[in-house]
Amino acid sequence: MDRRSFLHLNAGLIAAPFTCRAASKKKIAAVVTMYTDDRRLKSHAAVIVGRMLNGYQPNGVRQEPRTTIVSMYTDQVPPNDLSRGLAAEHGFKIFPTVSGALTLGGDALAVDGVLFVGEHGDYPTNDVGQKLYPRFELFQQIVDVFRRSKRVVPVFSDKHLSYSWENAHTMYEESRKMQFPLMAGSSMPLTIREPDLELPLDAARSRAVGGIRRHRRLRLPYPGGSAMHGGAEERRRERYFGRTVTRRRSGLEMAR
């Protein structure tokens, strides 16, 4: 499932042993670590959830939301939090637990999709400077509702699944075992590029240069820049060991 398909929730929903339910206007539960948008920080929740609340304008063309945010759980509520005001403006409800957001305060899953944004917030860091976002822990609470309800819905996880490989692998395997669509990654490859860069699929070229800002502490390429560069590069045709190999279609192509 590509990113735009998840946001529009037009993909087919998987049945047994856990079943998914379709509806004309999909109801989305947002599970986020923090929701702010000011001169200091525009959180990922504001970037992604904000478009689902207010729509957006790709290439200057107004795109109305095709889904409805009906509930939200925020793991942290800083003084500049916006979620409470947005709830009053847009009519969704803030719940004190992940379970409440997914069940709308009831006993069973009551939404058609989960938007999971575990990015930004006041969390500790490990010895290599990684911020220990509770993505794994919040994901387990989402999965617990699926198990109790004997029903699943698509889950979109912003960015990577976890700072821990073991936790990320567990999250992936749980999605496979329970058969619910799971999408994770950056939204950067889907952003508008100026000047426009749209390479033909399977374009033949010998090299590419990308300016990628490095993480200030880890000395690694900044994930957003890497995603943008990779989204274009995965459209190329290369030769490996004398064979012509066509790379898989990237999210950029699949999102059309």
Pick the more confident residue, 252 or 96: 96
pLDDT for 248 beyond 50: no
Burial of 57 (0-12, 13-18, 19+ CB in 10 A): exposed
pLDDT at position 15: 42
pLDDT for 202 beyond 80: no
Task: Please choose, from the candidates 179, 143, 177, 142, the residue with its C-alpha nearest in 3D space to the C-alpha of residue 20.
Answer: 179
Report whether 131 contacts 34 (CB < 8 A). no
pLDDT in tens, 106-144: 999 999 999 999 888 899 998 888 889 999 999 999 999
* CA 55 to each of CA 25, 51, 66, 158: distance values in angstroms, whole numbers, following the listed order: 15, 5, 9, 18
pLDDT in tens, 47-86: 888 888 888 777 778 888 889 999 999 999 999 889 999 9
Domain regions of the chain by residue span: 3-12+21-185, 189-254
* CA 48 to each of CA 80, 87, 119: distance values in angstroms, whole numbers, following the listed order: 18, 15, 11
CATH classification for the domain delimited by 3-12+21-185, as one of 3.30.830.10, 3.30.70.1290, 3.40.50.720, 1.10.287.70: 3.40.50.720
pTM of the model: 0.68
236-240/243-246 β-pairing = antiparallel
- As a whole number, the mean pLDDT across the chain is 76
Q: What is the DSSP string of 237-248?
A: EEEETTEEEEPP
